[in-house]
Amino acid sequence: MTTTRSRNATLKWDDISVGDHAAPLEIPITTTMIVAGAIASRDFMPVHHDREYAKRQGSPNLFMNILTTNGYCVRFLTDWAGPEAMVKRLSIRLGVPCFPDDPLRFTGSVTGKAPGSGGENFVELAFQGANSLGNHVSGIAVLSLLDQAAT
């Protein structure tokens, strides 16, 4: 699996069907990414930036925080749907830790569609982000896509 690029044009709601698979996304995880995510989200818990502290707590290495994981979930969703898609709901469940040098691979599929009002329509996706230990994150998201006629 290779890292996908973000979409230049937003998907059209009419072109999406329940059962469609989202383009997979592989994110190489580095120590720098984990530490930067913790700093950016103002999570100064040492297990997210101090390897020796994390080891003293029983972890084999420092590990990613939940807010960084959340951000990568949104990246996966918007890379698939396009720049004008809006994440309206995101519900995630954490699983195994995400350590450096173990890529995070996102996959997902469309589980529902619903027309809205005012040109706004909704798509529901079930997704997961896994590494070599198993599912790091799994979740359900609802994205809003505008009708082409409304834009």
In-domain check, residue 7: no
34: Cβ contacts below 8 Å, ≥ 6 apart = 48, 49, 62, 63, 64, 65, 68, 98, 100
Q: What range does the domain containing 25 cover? A: 13-146
Mean pLDDT in runs of 10 for the chain (151 residues)?
64 94 97 96 94 97 97 96 95 98 98 91 98 98 78 47
For the chain, the domain total comes to 1
Q: What is the pLDDT of residue 117?
A: 87
In-domain check, residue 2: no
Q: What is the pLDDT of residue 136?
A: 98
Q: pLDDT by residue (tens digit) across 100-125?
A: 999 999 999 999 999 988 889 999 99
Q: What is the pLDDT of residue 151?
A: 47
Q: What is the pLDDT of residue 4?
A: 53
Look at residues 125, 114, 92, 138 and name the one whose alpha carbon lies nearest to residue 23: 125
Tokens 């997961």 correspond to what residue?
A: 128
Burial class (CB in 10 A: 0-12, 13-18, 19+), 24: middle
Q: What is the pLDDT of residue 9?
A: 86
In-domain check, residue 60: yes
Look at residues 90, 103, 75 and name the one whose alpha carbon lies nearest to residue 6: 75
CATH number of residue 38's parent domain: 3.10.129.10
DSSP string spanning 21-78?
BPPPEEE---HHHHHHHHHHTT---GGGT-HHHHHHTT-SS----HHHHHHHHHHHHH
In-domain check, residue 4: no
The residue count for the chain: 151
Q: What is the pLDDT of residue 118?
A: 85
pTM of the model as a whole: 0.90
